[in-house]
A and B are shown apart, each in its own frame.
Chain A
Amino acid sequence: MLPGLRLSLGVTLLYVGLIVVLPLAALVFKASSLGFHDYWEIVSSSRALASYRVTVLCALGATVFNLFFGFALAWVLTRYRFPGWRLVDALVDLPFALPTAVAGISLTALFAANGWFGSVLEKVGIQVAYTPIGITIAMCFTSLPFVVRTVQPVLEDLDPALEEAAQSLGGSDWTIFRKVMLPLLAPALLAGVSLSFARSLGEFGAIIFIAGNQPMSTEITALLVFIRLEEYDYQAAAAVASVLLITAFVMLALTNWMQARALRYTVRN
């Protein structure tokens, strides 16, 4: 028996209790002090519902984009070597390293009507900044690394013998990809997708600059919580925040379950 159980576990439990559990419990307590009727009225108000719709739809859009782009990026980074691939591999982590507020103002500068991309898109009649498209792009940026980094290791460990066997049996590349590789990659893809979706639902900093923040149309749920606070409506803030918290727990349970499944299929040697 090694020494230090009491000290290390004591420190861990005390710290987790004070820093993580206590605040979240206080939030749940505050929200539940409302009573079911008032709580329901706040979380199902038309403005709250509109914010869920924008948040969820944009997050879905960003997640679908990241499913395809993230998968393509992971594929390119593991299967091909080209000049600068190390740089590309390193830059995949930029959205995690770059503070969200910085990402927010620079994406806004790019996509505003006078920005590098915004001015071009304006000519074809697409407005990105201050619309749901802008929110989706901000979410695409901040959640980009998830699918890449969950799929990459699984793709690297994929046994070439499986492909060779399928090729020797006369399968075309598309058939092999669909019937042999995709089933092996699917759990990792799903895990990455759910992480990406969860992150997009809670994102705040990168979005508020590009979103326009109009109630009922471009106001995300996290911002609604913030606005209720600024109006000193603490109970409403607690209620809407509790919706985000419950969603986060559901997503956490879902990703843990998916990742457990993902790992079942990737037995490493």
Chain B
Amino acid sequence: MSAAPTRRRPPRVGDQPIFRRTLIGLVLFIGVFLVLAPLVVIGVEAFAKGWQVYSATISHPDTLHAIMLTVLTALVAVPVNTAFGVAAAWSITKFDFWGKRFLLIVIEIPFSVSPIVAGVAYLFVYGLQGIFGPALDAWNIKILFAVPGIILASLFVTAPFVARELIPLMQAQGRDLEEAATSLGASGWRTFFSVTLPNIKWALLYGVVLCNARVMGEFGAVSVVSGNIRGQTNTLPLHIELLYHDYQATGAFAAASILAVIAVFTIIAKVALERRGAGRRASPAARPSLLSKPAENNA
């Protein structure tokens, strides 16, 4: 942010009032149609048949089960990927080892792979046609078309979220503080919890918020591995599809409205965390790659 303009600045490129107003108007016009309207239409359609139909859909056992399953998936996937993100960031930023750049690429893969590809890939590991499928079947362990498969697919899709928040930040912070703490006799865990964690807490939370939003909203990967069994393996996004194809558009929008509210709260939390310095104003997926900074930071 620039300081208060005490001295008259010469107009910058594009500062002519006509150009400026036209451009703002044009951008807002398209933005209203492309971004705001889809959000508004969810609420309108959800309540198209009144409050009672809305609350009947939300309180239907199948919807409630879908909500429970979505929350359960998030309760497992978010903490696991948070722990992974912290471990990955600690190993990558606090140590130098061979193959670090390659590891960074592998961590980023889930961002670039289509969710459908992720789902199919899991089929060939745990499905009957897959590597472990026959063995799992013999032991009567169900992973695909069951809750574990949904959780695994969600883990894949959101694996990089927390790691990508922490790695650039911890790289910039360097190793001096941790080295000072351990040289004064603190244990590794103590160093992490009293020295590192306070410095990365907002970025960590930022990653957690975005990871949670993606887990709760994941559709493609989960739809391949879930089997869409109503009342059993339907997450909320899958339940929306099911209702929609059942010609229950109002019900689909009612279920969608829950996810839309979560999305709005995600954005609010994101803005609040950005004010505390987390995230460089971008969702991790839209960020310059981890590789674009030199991986070896000796500063």
A116 partner residues in chain B, CB cutoff 8 A:
37, 41
The reply to whether A19 and B152 contact each other, CB–CB distance below 8 Å, is yes
Give the distance to chain B from A258, nearest Cβ to Cβ, in Å.
9
B288 partner residues in chain A, CB cutoff 8 A:
150, 191, 259, 262-263
- Interface 1/0s, chain A 82-120, versus B by CB < 8 A? 100010101111111111111101110110000111000
| Stretch of B49-57, B124-132, B197-205 on the interface side | B124-132
Q: Which of B122-167 contact A (CB under 8 A)?
A: 122-125, 127, 129-131, 152, 155-156, 159
Given A4-B188, A100-B220, also A30-B34 (CB < 8 A): no
Tell me, yes or no, whether A163 is within 8 Å of chain B by CB: yes
Interface centre among A26, A107, A177 (most CB of B within 10 A): A26
Give the distance to chain A from B193, nearest Cβ to Cβ, in Å.
12
A249 partner residues in chain B, CB cutoff 8 A:
112
Q: Quick one: closest A residue to B106, CB to CB?
A: A16
A198-B195 Cα distance, complex, nearest whole Å: 39
A81-B281 Cα distance, complex, nearest whole Å: 17
A160 partner residues in chain B, CB cutoff 8 A:
9, 12
A191-B286 Cα distance, complex, nearest whole Å: 10
- Interface 1/0s, chain B 1-43, versus A by CB < 8 A? 0000000011011111001100110111011011111110110
B20 partner residues in chain A, CB cutoff 8 A:
80
The reply to whether B256 and A96 contact each other, CB–CB distance below 8 Å, is no
The reply to whether A241 and B120 contact each other, CB–CB distance below 8 Å, is yes
A204-B249 Cα distance, complex, nearest whole Å: 20
Tell me, yes or no, whether A229 is within 8 Å of chain B by CB: yes
Give the distance to chain A from B58, nearest Cβ to Cβ, in Å.
15
Tell me, yes or no, whether B116 is within 8 Å of chain A by CB: yes
The reply to whether B213 and A97 contact each other, CB–CB distance below 8 Å, is yes
The reply to whether A26 and B121 contact each other, CB–CB distance below 8 Å, is yes
Count B interface residues, CB 8 Å: 112
- Interface 1/0s, chain B 236-253, versus A by CB < 8 A? 011011001000010011
A29-B35 Cα distance, complex, nearest whole Å: 41
Give the distance to chain A from B3, nearest Cβ to Cβ, in Å.
13
- Interface 1/0s, chain A 132-173, versus B by CB < 8 A? 000001001100111011101100000010011001000001
The reply to whether A145 and B253 contact each other, CB–CB distance below 8 Å, is no
Given A73-B27, A91-B267, A101-B241, also A23-B219 (CB < 8 A): no
Given A2-B191, A26-B124, A263-B292, also A69-B240 (CB < 8 A): no
The reply to whether A8 and B87 contact each other, CB–CB distance below 8 Å, is yes
A262 partner residues in chain B, CB cutoff 8 A:
288, 292
The reply to whether A252 and B112 contact each other, CB–CB distance below 8 Å, is yes
Interface centre among A73, A107, A181, A251 (most CB of B within 10 A): A73
Q: Quick one: closest A residue to B109, CB to CB?
A: A20
Tell me, yes or no, whether B297 is within 8 Å of chain A by CB: no
Say whether chain A's binding surface is mostly helix, strand, loop, or mixed: helix
Tell me, yes or no, whether A39 is within 8 Å of chain B by CB: no
The reply to whether B124 and A222 contact each other, CB–CB distance below 8 Å, is no
Q: Which of B210-241 contact A (CB under 8 A)?
A: 210, 213, 216-220, 223-224, 237-238, 240-241
The reply to whether B113 and A177 contact each other, CB–CB distance below 8 Å, is no
Q: Which of A4, A146, A201 contacts B286 (CB 8 A)?
A: A146
Tell me, yes or no, whether B293 is within 8 Å of chain A by CB: yes
Given A2-B175, A72-B23, A263-B292, also A23-B217 (CB < 8 A): no
The reply to whether A2 and B188 contact each other, CB–CB distance below 8 Å, is yes
Tell me, yes or no, whether A248 is within 8 Å of chain B by CB: yes
Given A98-B263, A238-B124, A245-B113, also A260-B42 (CB < 8 A): no
Q: Quick one: closest A residue to B30, CB to CB?
A: A69
Tell me, yes or no, whether A219 is within 8 Å of chain B by CB: no
The reply to whether B38 and A205 contact each other, CB–CB distance below 8 Å, is no
A199-B261 Cα distance, complex, nearest whole Å: 24
Tell me, yes or no, whether A11 is within 8 Å of chain B by CB: yes
Given A88-B31, A105-B252, A204-B220, also A234-B112 (CB < 8 A): no
A98-B256 Cα distance, complex, nearest whole Å: 10
The reply to whether B38 and A98 contact each other, CB–CB distance below 8 Å, is yes
Give the distance to chain B from A92, nearest Cβ to Cβ, in Å.
8
Q: Which of A23, A117, A140, A173 contacts B37 (CB 8 A)?
A: A117
Q: A15-B84, A24-B109 are in contact. List 18 more A-B contacts (CB 8 A).
A: A2-B94, A2-B95, A2-B179, A8-B88, A13-B103, A19-B159, A20-B107, A20-B109, A72-B23, A82-B24, A102-B217, A105-B253, A148-B286, A149-B283, A195-B285, A229-B224, A244-B117, A245-B113
The list of the 6 closest CB pairs from A to B, nearest first, reads: A99-B217, A202-B114, A3-B188, A23-B121, A205-B219, A204-B220
